Structure 1
Amino acid sequence: MVMNTFIKKLKYTPLLAMLLVSGCTKNFEEINTDPDALKDVPPQNMLVNVLRNAGEQFGGDVDGYGTFAGYIVKIQYPDNLSGLIPTDNTYGNRWAACYYNITQMNDLLKKTDDKAAGFKNIRIVARIWNNYMWSYLLDGWGDIPYSEAFKGRPEDGSVLKAKYDKQEDVFPAVLADLKALADELAAGIGTDELGEYDIIYGSKETGAAALKAQMLNWQKFCNSLRLRMATRISAVAPALAKSTIEEIAGNKLKYPVIETNAENCRMVYPGTLPYMEPWYESGIYGNRLNNWGMFDIFIDHLNTTKDPRIVSIARKNNAGKYVGFINGSENNPNPFTSISWIGEHYVNDPAGATPFYRACETYYMLAEAALSGYNVGITAKDAYEKAVTLSMQDNKIETSAITTYLAGAGKFNGTKERVYWDMWVALFKENYEAWSLYRRTGIPTTNYPSKLQKKHTDQPWRLPYPNNEYLYNADNVKAAATGTVDYNWGKRLWWAKDNGKE
């Protein structure tokens, strides 16, 4: 009111214009700065934002990767794989999320570079997570912008169209950085507390003991990620894989790994909007559970092997049986309840979790390594049985049922195939990782693409590069995509097995 009266008294004279101009420009920044606002984003806030983003982006996939892995099929809408084209949605979102998260963590590292000792722990976690994002990009797309990525600013090199590096060059680089991080962690941690900003391993507890336990879990994830990546390339870079795996397994004191379900790398959600576990939010809260059925090959396998995890993974149909459904059926099941849906253990908890790495994976990989002749300090049989037990316990299966399974169809038979088949079951809900297992090993051999997709006989081999790359980095992305067919087939990833399908 005071300002309005003042303006009226001046009667819109030239003096008014002069006053307004001077009033809007003098001390503009000071006047328009919120004195209560932070001038910069604290590193802890940047970390929690990236971890949350990863959980939401990578934890909500039900079909898509779940279908590629042989777990889940669409039952409401025909699955003709129409989304597997260059787009900035769906799979393009995952590409963008990875590079966004790396950008944010690089910014965190830059902001704390001049006081690195005081932010040692958060910087280590940021670097570990960056490497996890790189592994995700490598497993989805293969050749990716790496060495020239994030060099767009003049001070960074003004590289606006980054070249694509070969995956066989990026894998060793990521493994080397993880090795450096593992050695840093083995030498000791910092004093800075991440607390509850770390929504994966953080807790309400404070103090030296809590910090030590928290960073030990990150140390274990770092080495477990090394184990996973080395196993991934074991068929194509055997020397690097063997030396990495034997180094980790041969010195668990220096290079500890995730070995118990309590140490699993996973994101647990608060359980209330807007932070519900993604499968619950879509399936139960969003009332879309009847959009998805269990893949027939998955239920057939669980039934044939009498795998007790079936009670956790799937629901019985309206006749009290476990029944899978065809991938890409032209007709819906009638009624929808005549087939099995996702089990309550995995979908019916708003405060559930998105898994990034489970303890059982460590032992499946050690079993495989032992069968390859690596010196890993445990027999293949013992590692396999430990893996199965951890997976069963994670699914709340009784000890007696575990014993029965390991003496029956789940009995170790000295083959990698037995390890792979059981690992496939254990990776349920880690759909992206299970899809990588299939592409690397050919297990499950029964896997097939949507029946509505007539041209190819296999699930997608890779993800399509996003449309923005074709718009703004056309020459480089087209060179990287040379040899691909229909964007997702034709050229397998470096480490993938040729299973004879097209």
Structure 2
Amino acid sequence: MKILNRFMAISTFAVLGLLSGCTKSFEEINTDPDALSEVPATNMLANVIRNTGEQFGGDVDGYGTFAGYIVKIQYLDYMAGLTPTNNTYGNRWAACYYNNTQLKDLLSKTEESADAYKNIRLVARLWQCYMWQYLTDGWRDVPYSEALKGPESEGNILKAKYDKQEDIYPAVMASLKAIADEMTGGFGTDEIGDGDFIYGGDMQKWQRFCNSLRLRMAIHISSVSPELARTTIEEICTNPDKYPVIDANAHNCYLTWPGAAPYYEPWYNNGYVGKRVDNFGMADIFIDHLKEMEDPRIGSVANVASDGEYRGYQNGAASAPPILTSISFIGDRYMNNAAGFTPFFKSCESYYIIAEAAMLGYNVGISAQDAYEKAVRLSMEDNGISQAATDAYLAGKGKWDNTTERIWWDEWVAQFKNNFEAWTLYRRTGIPSTNYPSLNSIYGDAHNDQPFRLPYPNNEYLYNKENLDAALTNVSDYVWGQQMWWDTRTGVN
């Protein structure tokens, strides 16, 4: 109930936003004497975190399809167009900029008393960086340096230019390092308040998220900016007290939902509430891999089909399976829990990154094998797998084989539900190598791969077309063309 009440606090923010629209002549009669004249900073943070979870946590088939996890088994229209609409990925784009605008407002309103709001300002700046990472990894080149500068005092820039991902990444990583260094100097004395739906005001856990996000961005660019990647990862791994990371499941950056209307976990809301769970099935390549590897996580990520077997379905098949229940649905842990979670960063990801860095020869203070096995154990624990089953997997099909591919394959399994990052893993590494494009694309066989990016939203075509056109010179059919800066794969189009 306490969590639900915290979520309900968002309504205060909405009401106050409406009040701010009162004209001067109606100020007296339209002002509620019992209403707050200023939105509390914790409410603003709460609004952003909730919005992030709703917008980015609700994609069941979208990124899940791109990453090779989930397919549509009813209403097979998903891969029919991939054209930009504000009803799909345009909402994700808008959410990133809306959230950053709200956080910028929070920072502006607390600037004069920055010392008194140190902790919440640190979290606000950190979440801004997460939004920028999400934006550029989704769309590649996006408005960054001129973004959020609409006020006349800041340039009156209503149509922002598009910055290259090559320039955005170092800038965001520099911001994250500045936040990390400030955190090493000590936290503030302020309470973040009930708006911290993730860590409940625990600044040490926010510090871990900051450094883990630095790890993520660094490993992404390890093939294209190896020196920045190496120095960032080594700085963190050789100074664990100064730069702690998310290294236990108790530190996971998860938004746990209240589980009462209207704040259901988004996958549950997209499935069980409306009894639409049979819209989505498990992808054949995912189920086949889990079965081949004798991976005990299969029982967590998927349910058995009606005949008691685990069975997946083809991405973009021309028709639905004759019997929907012959295909495995998404596991109850991930979809049948109204009070479930939206993951932003899992502890196992830290160790998969460290294992990969060790294979690259970075000084990370641990062997690739030990980091890999630690990652596997954390993932198994997070999925409720017993230690005995975990031991059997690591001694069997999941045994360390001294290859980076072993790390990537297991990370692919472990990232389930964190589908956006799993899609990034695929675009960066080519794992799962069994992934394939939709069999039912309107582009026929013009493209041999899943999308490289998300489509730019309609509003950019309508209101920022000149700047968008410059970015579109490298885009083909909305979501292909130039690959991400960090995507060095060859032979894909």
Q: TM-score, normalised by structure 2?
A: 0.93
> What residue number does 2:17 align with?
none
> What residue number does 1:295 align with?
283
Corresponding letter in the other structure for 2:55: Q
Name which of 276, 301, 306 aligns with 2:294. Answer: 306
- State the alpha-carbon separation in 2 of the partners of residues 147 and 329 from structure 1: 42
Asked if 1:224 is matched to 2:207, the reply is: no
Name which of 54, 73, 76 aligns with 1:75. Answer: 73
Q: Structure 1, residues 228-254: CA drift from partner, whole Å, max 9, x if none?
A: 000111100000000000000010101
Equivalences for 1:405-424 in 2 at 5 Å?
405-424=393-412
SS of residue matched to 1:284? coil
Q: TM-score, normalised by structure 1?
A: 0.92
**Offset of 1:26 from its aligned partner?**
11
- State the alpha-carbon separation in 1 of the partners of residues 447 and 54 from structure 2: 31
- State the alpha-carbon separation in 2 of the partners of residues 407 and 79 from structure 1: 42
> What residue number does 1:364 align with?
352
- State the alpha-carbon separation in 1 of the partners of residues 27 and 338 from structure 2: 45
SS of residue matched to 2:80? coil
Corresponding letter in the other structure for 1:474: K
> What residue number does 1:339 align with?
327
- State the alpha-carbon separation in 2 of the partners of residues 151 and 317 from structure 1: 52
**Cα pair 2:79 2:316 within 8 Å, conserved:** no
**Cα pair 1:258 1:264 within 8 Å, conserved:** yes
**Cα pair 1:442 1:497 within 8 Å, conserved:** no
Asked if 1:321 is matched to 2:309, the reply is: yes
Q: Structure 1, residues 342-385: CA drift from partner, whole Å, max 9, x if none?
A: 01111111111000000000000000000000000000000000
SS of residue matched to 1:312? helix
Residues 311 and 45 of structure 1: CA distance in aligned 2, closer, same or farther (over 3 Å) = same
Q: Provide structure 2 residue ranges, at least 5 long, that are not aligned to the other structure.
A: 1-22
SS of residue matched to 1:384? helix
Q: Structure 1, residues 433-482: CA drift from partner, whole Å, max 9, x if none?
A: 00000000000001012100123211000011111111111111111121
Residues 319 and 189 of structure 1: CA distance in aligned 2, closer, same or farther (over 3 Å) = same
- State the alpha-carbon separation in 2 of the partners of residues 133 and 234 from structure 1: 21
**Offset of 1:80 from its aligned partner?**
5.1
**Offset of 1:431 from its aligned partner?**
0.4
SS of residue matched to 1:356? strand
CA RMSD of aligned residues (A): 1.3
**Offset of 1:30 from its aligned partner?**
2.5
- State the alpha-carbon separation in 2 of the partners of residues 28 and 70 from structure 1: 56
Asked if 1:86 is matched to 2:123, the reply is: no
- State the alpha-carbon separation in 1 of the partners of residues 297 and 52 from structure 2: 27
Corresponding letter in the other structure for 1:492: Q
**Offset of 1:500 from its aligned partner?**
1.5
Give identity over the alignment, percent.
63
**Cα pair 2:348 2:379 within 8 Å, conserved:** yes
> What residue number does 2:268 align with?
280
SS of residue matched to 1:57? helix
Name which of 373, 376, 385 aligns with 1:397. Answer: 385
- State the alpha-carbon separation in 1 of the partners of residues 30 and 113 from structure 2: 30
**Offset of 1:83 from its aligned partner?**
4.7
Asked if 1:465 is matched to 2:463, the reply is: no
After TM superposition, where is structure 1 displaced by more than 3 Å over at least 4 residues in a row?
25-28
SS of residue matched to 1:129? helix
Asked if 1:255 is matched to 2:243, the reply is: yes
Q: Provide structure 1 residue ranges, at least 5 long, that are not aligned to the other structure.
A: 1-24, 203-210
> What residue number does 2:19 align with?
none
**Cα pair 2:144 2:162 within 8 Å, conserved:** yes
Corresponding letter in the other structure for 2:451: P
**Cα pair 2:350 2:375 within 8 Å, conserved:** yes
Equivalences for 1:94-109 in 2 at 5 Å?
94-109=92-107
Equivalences for 1:6-21 in 2 at 5 Å?
none
**Cα pair 2:141 2:165 within 8 Å, conserved:** yes
**Cα pair 1:57 1:97 within 8 Å, conserved:** yes
